[in-house]
Structure formats: structure tokens, C-alpha cells
Chains A and B, each alone.
Chain A
Amino acid sequence: AQKITQTQPGMFVQEKEAVTLDCTYDTSDPSYGLFWYKQPSSGEMIFLIYQGSYDQQNATEGRYSLNFQKARKSANLVISASQLGDSAMYFCAMRDSQGAQKLVFGQGTRLTINP
């Protein structure tokens, strides 16, 4: 069965610093996809970045990059040059071919950016 673990309930970072949000996953399926979503206080989940299990390079999307370590089953999100607007909940999620179409989410990390 798929499982996502986010061990940091909360993170506090100074504005303009880089921050790494941890995510580990578990699946027996060699084919899977990993996602990060941001959830501001408005409630809407916003897609940030995707990494496929067979992708050779780490995914990047603007200030977001994914540190994918397949052997360790980790998919950490790195946010460079953090901004006040980055304060939100962040969720790691995965889908594998055995889990049909559903995305399985972790418990999330609340990120607070301090001015």
C-alpha cells in the first residue's frame, strides 16, 4: 500500500532563506509519481511540482525544486529565496499504478516565513 510520511509538523524560516520540506514514501510499485501541493489559508490546494519515478533528473519549477533520492525513498521539496507569500501548508502526495487513480497525501507541514 502507498504511504507518505511528512515528519515536520511546522517549520519557521526567515524571508529570503531557502527551506527544505521533508517527505518519505513507501510503495512496492516501481512506477509511481510524486507531487507537492501548497494549501494557503483560503483552502485551495495548488499544484507545485511533479517527479516521476523514472525521471533521470530532479524536477524544478521556478523557485521550487524536488530533491529526489530514490534509494532512500525521499522526495524533499526545496524552496529557494522564500517569500512571505510562501507561508502555507505543504503536502507531499503520490500515485502508483497499483493504487489506481487516487493521490495519497501526507499529513502536511505548516511553513511560516518570518519577515
Chain B
Amino acid sequence: DTGVSQDPRHKITKRGQNVTFRCDPISEHNRLYWYRQTLGQGPEFLTYFQNEAQLEKSRLLSDRFSAERPKGSFSTLEIQRTEQGDSAMYLCASSLAQGLNEKLFFGSGTQLSVL
């Protein structure tokens, strides 16, 4: 069990550029979540997938953000036309669907800095 892995760990980009992050969940997990965390705050929910279906998106997820999970395995999160306000840690988590006690396993995150 290699855990949840995210790539890259750090990304520095210029305003207006597009960026893409990748998340590889724990292999038997059917749910995958994306969260965003800014300095001094707790993680904020962005979106989640069950298998390949994207089931919920937060209002935080503007139309510049898109996430995919083809074939229900890894996921990508793309941000188009990045803005300085997009600078944050982007966390991915995976889980097995099991009700209220569903435990999320997190990756180490991708730290995005938009200059």
C-alpha cells in the first residue's frame, strides 16, 4: 500500500498560465476528493468522484477549474488562467464509500504559487 500520491509537490507559475495536478489514490478506493487549503486555514472541499463520476462540486470551483477521473483511477485537477488567489495547497484524498464513518486518506498535497 503506497498511500495517496500527488504530483508535483510544488508548482510555481505565472499568472495567466494553466496548471495541472495529478493524484493517484489508494488502488482499491472508489472515492476521490480534492480539497484546497490556504495558509492558516483548514482544507476546503472542492469536488469528489465516485469511480469515474464527478458527484459534487463546490461553489468554490469556478469555471476555470476542471477535474477528471478517467477510468476511475487517477485524477487530474486543471486550473486555467491562474490568478494569484489560486495560490494554495491542493490536497487529494481517497476512501472507500461506507457512510458517515468514511475515513479519508490524504496525499501530501501540491503547493501552488502563482506569481
Would A101 and B106 be within 8 Å (CB), given that A33-B100, A43-B89, A108-B42 are in contact? no
Q: Inside 8 A of B101's CB, which chain A residues have their CB? A: 33, 50, 52
What are the 10 closest A-B residue pairs judged by CB atoms, nearest first?
A105-B42, A45-B106, A33-B100, A102-B45, A44-B108, A43-B109, A43-B108, A105-B43, A91-B42, A47-B103
Residues of B within 8 A of A (CB): 31, 33, 40-45, 48, 55-56, 58, 89, 91, 93, 97, 100-109, 111
- 21 residue pairs of the A-B complex, CB under 8 angstroms, read A4-B42, A33-B102, A42-B108, A44-B109, A45-B91, A45-B104, A47-B104, A47-B105, A50-B103, A91-B42, A91-B43, A96-B100, A101-B55, A101-B102, A102-B33, A103-B43, A103-B45, A103-B104, A105-B44, A106-B42, A108-B41
